[in-house]
Structure 1
Amino acid sequence: MMLMAAVLQAAVVQPAPGMLVERRLAEAIPLAVGDTVRVRALAGSAQPRPFVVAGVFEREADPNRIARNDYEVRLHLPDLEALLPTHDRVDRFAIVLAPGARADPAARWIESVAFGTRAYGSAALAEETSATFRVVSRFHDAIGIVTILASAIFLLCVMVIRVDERKRDMGTLRLIGVSRGTVFRAVVLEAIGIAVVGSVAGAGLGVVVTRIVNAHYARVYDTTLRFALVTPRIVLIAALLGLALGTIAGVLAAWRLVRVAPQKLGER
């Protein structure tokens, strides 16, 4: 009889529920699939409950959570509720609508289910929680504007210096019959060439620096999030800006050169 009772008691014992563990947590403890852990909530005085590690997942890269960078585990909703001191209460939840469903009527229905519930679309929620990123973006815009202005001034100074160093050569060309327009175009094309070379070198340097930054912070935060990007759009904008600035600097330097009489170009 005692043996039969023991067998019946073992038969009614429920197996430990499964849980998913984030890869960083699994490596830090360490844990492997099939291990049994005891979990309890920080709030309340509930006893720890056993869980079996059913799998290891890689957390999606999310810049909103990179500052905290906490470890994560995923439980079935009934198991999570059993760990908490209060039941039938949530802070937030996400709903994915079926293709073709209208978001506004669904949001109004959700808000009517429980008093105080607010429904946000994914775009509105991202806008609501991205104030810090907007400040950083404006700061980057300011840095970009200052950098572009400094680059334009630097390029103009380079062209003026080069034109001043070649005044004798330009004066000789003008005296032997080379037209003012030819000299003007030559100076402008030289400035554009310098700008193109500078744009290519800058894009290459940007790619190298981007890889160094991403590799460093990926190790610091152990994440797949990319902290710096060099996209084709950025390279195209940089190239167009380089061409525009080179053209403007060349035109100003060439105009400064051709408006002087050829006889005076050789004077110091």
Structure 2
Amino acid sequence: MGKDNVTVLCNCATDEMVKDEALMDIVTTRKVIEFMEELCEREGYPKEVLTDNGAQFKSKEMEKYLSERSIDHKRVLKGKWEEEAWKERKGKCDDEAWKERKGKCEEEAWKERKGNCEEEAWKKRKGKCEEEAWKKRKGKCEEEAWKERKGKCDDEAWKERKGKCEEEAWKERKGNCEEEAWKKRKGKCEEEAWKERKGKCDDEAWKERKGKCDDEALKERKGNCEEEAWKERKGKCDDEAWKERKGKCDEEAWKERKGKCDEEAWKERKGKCK
């Protein structure tokens, strides 16, 4: 019960009041005030109250209580309290029925709206999931196709490269073999030519050396012969010259000695003669 609501106090107006009245042995003004105080503390004071024409509601104590709290007091007409109670009860029933019906409608509408929202969300989510799954599957298919295509290209490129490498290797190997064979053949030819040339050179050198040796031997022999002849001739010349010189020396020495002897003999003789 809010401040804008009306509190109806009667002997048998509502089920709630009947239950509360059942706790009272005698309905007096004091008990009604206590009941109102308890109710107002919980719900707040109303602007007005509607009661029947019972003595407990018409007393001065009740009027004073309501006046002090600025609560407008209205009473039903005599003989009309049942009609007013019925209208109030009917209004409450209609209000409850309307609320219940409204609640059901709102609940149904909410359920329908919720169902629609969930369905839309599910469809949207399903669409996203399907789109993601499709993209994922498409991506996998494209990736597989790309890998397959790349594999084929790599395979073809590898075969082409392998073929080129094998061809180059074959050419290189062939070239190496031909070069080795040529070198080997060239080496043999050069070796044979060298042997042949060497043989000729050795033969020529031997002949030349032999000739030189013969020439040197001849010269040496000739020189020896000339040296011996020269020595022999020189010896003869020296012997003759020595003899000639010796003869001269002996002659000069004899003459000198003879002169000295003659001079000494003359001086000695001359001295003796003086």
Which range, TM-score by smaller chain? under 0.3
Larger RCO: 1 or 2 (CA < 8 Å, sep 6+): 1
Point out the structure with the larger helix share.
2
Structure 1 or 2, whichever has the larger Rg, is 2
TM-score, normalised to structure 2, is 0.20
